[in-house]
Amino acid sequence: MEGVRFGDTVVMDDLLTEGPTRASRHVGRAQGTYVTASLSRDHREGGGGGPAMVLELAAWTAARDAALAAIVLHISMPAVVCRRLAGGDGTSTGGMLTTTAANLQHLHLFMHDEHTGPTPTAVLIVNGTGAPVTGDVRFGDTVVMDNVLTEGPTRDSRHVGRAQGTYVTTSLPREGPPAMLVSMNLVLTAGSTVTVVGRNDVTLPVRELAVVGGTGSFRMATGYVLWKTRSWRPKSAVLELDVYLRTTT
């Protein structure tokens, strides 16, 4: 979209109405943010569709005492026709998707978080404040990402999607280990998405994050992600993701 750049962040307090026109009955407000979380088409690899945003909002009814609990929505826009990842459309996952003995679907992925090079896929958009938490990372640092997902640990292995979203340094200096709040969509090449939110304590060998939703083959998914650092060098990391989920489809 013309004029929209990777990392653009908008705060909103939008009107909610019963019908499609502004003059229809007002029923509440949609308050929150949305962040452009897709790189320009020239830089995209392994993903489909146009510009995508991560939307986080709290929806309130007109009566404050009947306010809905804060709802976090993570939506890839524009919407695309979602296809089944395994079966139904002939798409092969190459072993990426399996089913466990507990009847959980298992996705095994590698995420390439790259802050440097000619086309970085993770960009600092908000500088934090105060003393460094670790290295040059500060409380409040906010990064937007459109990271490549691959089937294997190397960047040249088969691309299976993108990880689009944000992570924010949420630990104060001297108040515990460095930690980040991760909020992202795993946007798979077959069209389905998995929404992941959680705390990333970078000092732990294995971190657990929550699967809070999905679309397409993973509609209404619930589950968890085991997140490990496969390799690291300054401003670049490869993360290994084991995603375990259940769906309604």
Question: Residue 75 pLDDT > 60, yes or no?
Answer: no
Question: Between the CA atoms of 93, 95, 98 and 100, what dihedral angle is there, to the nearest 10 degrees?
Answer: -170
Specify the residue for token string 């109405």.
17
Q: Are 85 and 93 in contact (CB under 8 A)?
A: yes
**Range 72-76 average pLDDT:** 39
User: pTM for this one?
Assistant: 0.72
**Range 149-169 average pLDDT:** 94
Task: Name, in order, each residue with C-beta under 8 angstroms of 145's C-beta and a sequence gap of 6 or more.
Answer: 37, 113, 121, 122, 123, 163, 164, 165, 166, 167, 184
Residue 103's pLDDT band (boundaries 50, 70, 90)? Answer: confident
Q: What is the pLDDT of residue 55?
A: 65
- CATH T-level assignment (fold) for domain 97-246: AOC barrel-like (2.40.480)
Length of the chain, please? 249
Q: What does the mean pLDDT of the chain come to? A: 78
Q: Are 153 and 65 in contact (CB under 8 A)?
A: no
Domain residue ranges in the chain: 9-66, 97-246
- A 10 A CB-CB count for 88 gives 10
Question: Between the CA atoms of 16, 20, 22 and 24, what dihedral angle is there, to the nearest 10 degrees?
Answer: -80
CA distance 70 to 174: 30
Lowest mean pLDDT segment, chosen from 129-138, 179-188, 198-207: 129-138
